Amino acid sequence: MLAHRPDEVIGLGLDGAEAIDPPEQFVEAYRLARQGGLRLTAHACEDAPPVNITTCLDLLGRERIDHGYYVLDDERVLARARDEGIVFTVAPTATAICYFTADLAAHPIRAMVEQGLSVVLNTDDPPMFATDLGSEYALMCTAAGWGPDQVRQLCLNGVDGAWLDDDERRDLRRSFERELDELEAQLDPDSGAPGS
């Protein structure tokens, strides 16, 4: 892929069942990808212990983690992820169906946010799970009781985790902040809901 890399390919990810394909099997692929200038992410701790996050950070050199729910099971890994500002892209609907309860208020995503992790709401196989990004925000934020301030933070975490150069990230952040300010100005101050 690196020898015939199209412009659209900017990064390498890893997903699948971690028990049978743990991240340490892919050290060489990630080394080559990093040398080739690709950005790096990996599914980790979606259905496996927190050691997989440590492996992804230390051996794969990845920049962010997809899922990561079981980071909550190890205080050391949790503290490291928080201290290093690791961005976690999470998928409420898909993982509620496959791994957790349908009650999103009890989903580990809520505890990840409460523990101060940098979380970005996302989708996972939207056609399979009949969802989209707007639905994920509406469902998860409603279930967790998150208001405009938390929604803003989730959105800006997405900017922080995006694979952009510094100038592009600054521009995108300004654009998001402007749009979020405009949206918040439309809210009813008493309810946090859109005004009439």
Domain locations along the chain = 2-158
Q: What does the buried/exposed string (b/e) look like for 8-26 if buried means 16 or more CB atoms within 10 Å of the residue's CB? A: eeeebebeeebeeeebeeb
The mean pLDDT value for 181-188 works out to 88
What span, in angstroms and rounded, lies between the C-alpha atoms of 12 and 82? 23
Would the pLDDT of 187 be above 50? yes
What span, in angstroms and rounded, lies between the C-alpha atoms of 61 and 137? 29
pLDDT tens digits, one per residue of 23-77 = 999 999 999 999 999 999 999 988 889 999 999 999 999 899 999 999 999 999 9
pLDDT tens digits, one per residue of 122-181 = 888 777 677 788 888 999 999 999 999 999 999 999 999 999 999 999 999 999 999 999
Torsions phi, psi for 9 (to 5 deg): -90, 110
Domain 2-158 indexed as CATH 3.20.20.140: yes
Residue 54 Rama label (left phi>0; alpha psi -120 to 50; beta): alpha
Active site residues: 46
Whole-number pLDDT of residue 195: 45
| C-alpha distances out from residue 22 to 54, 74, 80, Å | 12, 18, 20
Angle CA(70)–CA(68)–CA(160) in degrees, nearest 5?
145
Whole-number pLDDT of residue 109: 92
pLDDT tens digits, one per residue of 89-106 = 998 877 776 778 788 888
